[in-house]
Amino acid sequence: MTLPRNPTRAVRIGSVVIGAHHPIAVQSMTATRTQDIDATVEQVQALCQAGADVVRIAVDSTADALALAEIRRQVSANLSVDLQENYRLAEQVAPHVDKIRYNPGHLYHHQRDKPWQDKVRYLAAVAREHDCAIRIGVNCGSVDPAHKSRYEPQDSISPMLDSAWEHCELLDAIEGTRYCVSLKDSDPTNVIEANRRFAERRPEVPLHLGVTEAGMPPDGIIKTRIALEQLISVGIGDTIRVSLTVPNWRKAEEILVGRQILADIAAGRVRSVVKRDANSLNLISCPSCSRVENEAFIDLAQRVQEMTQYARQHALTIAVMGCRVNGPGETDDADLGLWCGPNFVNLKRAGQLVGAFSYDEILPRLRAELDDLIASRAAG
């Protein structure tokens, strides 16, 4: 969908071109396990049929990379790969995808003594060799510690921007690198502010927009709509993704929601005048994706939403995360956080671990902690 935007450089992702006044592209991400080739192929095809321009697949191991090669043989979609924490997998996956996404905050996980600049130069070389675009994917829950330490804890935007600008400057110096940037947060107001500040300084760089861990419908749709409407309406944004906590068979809804939001903006039907109440309970949960280590996470998130209805008038944040990638950071920033593993759920309160509980035990324990937190605040 073509909407008026600021001039940007053009970046090709397979058969899709973003930036430079090209139509806004819609991206999605598979929620199946990458090594389940049949299920992943089926989901890629379903997402494309629903209108996805680019489909992202997570790769976390050599086995995932081998599966990706077979998936590529069976689908014609524009594929993006999420390298997770192991940037060294780039050589194995680049021949099979059109875009490589890396997170600056995860580059330090492997080969910690190696400068991040060398790692990015390696990624850029691999991308150029295999004609791939790159996305610098900066996420509020996993910001590069070197940048995070320079700012007050309540300032989550400045470290993200510093990291993004730093990586842009390095990629600019590497001839032939095609790249875009994303700056994502679970709070739509932070997404708006971060992307506005980035676009003001680097208006030529294409931006991928989204609210990470937006949560379940309808709240997740409302949060996403607020951010996308406020940014796209003023000419910021070249690709979008809607991230909802829904079962695998409902993943196509993310595409439909994204297309509807774009259509509404183009028609002038901007709805975000109705803002989310900042003085009420804020439930964030990551989207269902292939990183989820136990699919019971999705059901748990829905049960948490139902159980916490009695606390809706309290200004608290509860995070329900489904994997080790986003779990630690996002639950640290919440009043109460659930980081779901394969067999147990780690419960945190104000960033401190309360304990690990089974999926059957966690809900009553969460309620006890929530009641105690409400009582403590009421007592001053």
The per-residue pLDDT for range 335-344, each reduced to its tens digit, is 998 888 888 8
Q: How confident is the model at residue 62 (pLDDT cuts 50, 70, 90)?
A: very high
Strands of 22-173, DSSP E = 25-29, 54-58, 79-82, 99-102, 133-139
Q: What is the pLDDT of residue 324?
A: 66
pLDDT over 90 (residue 133): yes
Return the exposure string of 275-310: e unless at least 16 CB atoms fall within 10 Å of the residue's CB, then b: eeeeeebbbbbbbbbbbbbbebbbebbbbbbeebee
Q: How confident is the model at residue 3 (pLDDT cuts 50, 70, 90)?
A: very low
In the chain, % helix, strand, coil (3-state, to 5) comes to 45, 20, 40
Q: What is the pLDDT of residue 275?
A: 46
Widest Cα–Cα separation across the chain: 62
**How many Å apart are CA 212 and CA 194, to the nearest integer?**
13
CA angle 42/95/325 to nearest 5° reads 65
Q: How confident is the model at residue 14 (pLDDT cuts 50, 70, 90)?
A: very high
Q: What is the pLDDT of residue 372?
A: 92
Q: What is the pLDDT of residue 210?
A: 96
Enumerate residues 6+ apart whose C-beta is below 8 A from 16. 25, 53, 54, 78
**Is 229:265 a contact under the CB 8 Å cutoff?**
yes
Q: What is the pLDDT of residue 74?
A: 98
Higher pLDDT, 136 or 304: 136
